[in-house]
Amino acid sequence: MRRGEFMTERVQGAPELALEWHRAGRGAALATVVETWGSAPRRVGAQMVVSGDGQIEGSVSGGCVEGAVMVEALEALEEGKGRLLEFGVSDGDAFAVGLACGGTIRVLVEPVGAVMSEVVLDALVSARAERRPVAYVCDGETGGGLLSEEGFEERFRMDRSGLEEDGRFVAIHNPPLRLVIVGAVHIAQALVPMARVAGFDPILVDPRSAFGSQARFPGETIVEDWPDEALDVIGLDGRTALVLLTHDPKLDDPALHVALRSDVFYIGALGSKRTHASRVARLGEAGFTQDEIARIHGPIGLDIGAAGPSEIAVSILAEMVQLLRKGA
């Protein structure tokens, strides 16, 4: 493994495609949902990209207004100006895309180059590849903005794009969520697919090849290194959750030493109250403060009376999401 190899894999979302198409001479416009009312099909911040030759990727409505957005985007590319579109999603269209009732959305269209600077877009794509949280801040009606890494802490924490009171639109680009699991045990076999469905990219760490095998975890990323060395290579950040399932201090403690000095948003460790008390004592002797140790959720998971690996996995995932969305 090379340091940082897990941090540099480029996602291919709307910004990446917009930059690629623009540089290929095809032209590109980014369309972003900036405001919604009622049962809008997509959340604020959802994006699609339209090329100058009419190719589209992504979605702003679940399918009911994409055609109209494409036409408007092509006209915006010809004019070289941004435009704010408003659509009422009818009850019939809403039902067709799986909703009970309609709603209204506003979509900001920004031609790349003429409105959204290529330099800014390139910096945005780079930040996304490097797993750096960044906000794109622009005029909510005309577009054309700059990047900011500060000043929107609550939006970053809640992963929530939206309009500010002064009319600026803030598009939050957080790194994809990751779940690092130390211990490729039976609970992990249940947790990995659940986490993937919930939007997490799982990475398994276990130096014991008999546990961390492709036979047990087909197609998953498995790192067969000691946890502290593996975590140093993977890189821990504020969009990463760490779950320790080995129940073995030789494996869990080195991982905790790395995690407690990091920005991970969740640390959970398997074990009984007695096991956790012993863990707390060892960490105290290692020089960690009570506030640092208090970041560990142990026993792990919400107390839902879980019995068996699958239910324990549900309790762990629920606790992770609760902390991510509601905070401590």
Residue 24 has pLDDT above 50, yes or no: yes
Region 236-261: mean pLDDT is: 94
Region 69-78: mean pLDDT is: 96
Tell me the pLDDT tens digit for each residue of 186-198.
999 999 999 999 9
Q: Report all structural domains of the chain as residue ranges with CATH numbers, in order of start.
A: 14-173 (no CATH), 177-326 (3.40.50.720)
Tell me the pLDDT tens digit for each residue of 271-309.
999 999 999 999 999 999 999 999 999 999 999 999 999
CB 28 within 8 A of CB 21: yes
Residue 99, pLDDT score: 46
Alpha helix (H) residue ranges in 200-308: 227-234, 249-259, 273-285, 290-293
- Residue 254's contacts (CB-CB under 8 Å, 6 or more residues apart) are 226, 227, 228
Pick the residue with more confidence: 22 or 13? 22
CB 201 within 8 A of CB 176: yes
In DSSP terms, 135 is beta-bridged to: 148, 172
Residue 321 has pLDDT above 90, yes or no: yes
Q: What is the mean pLDDT of the chain?
A: 90
Pick the residue with more confidence: 135 or 101? 135
Residue 115: pLDDT band by 50, 70, 90 thresholds? very high
Q: Is the pTM of this model over 0.85?
A: no
Residue 9 has pLDDT above 50, yes or no: no
CB 310 within 8 A of CB 190: yes
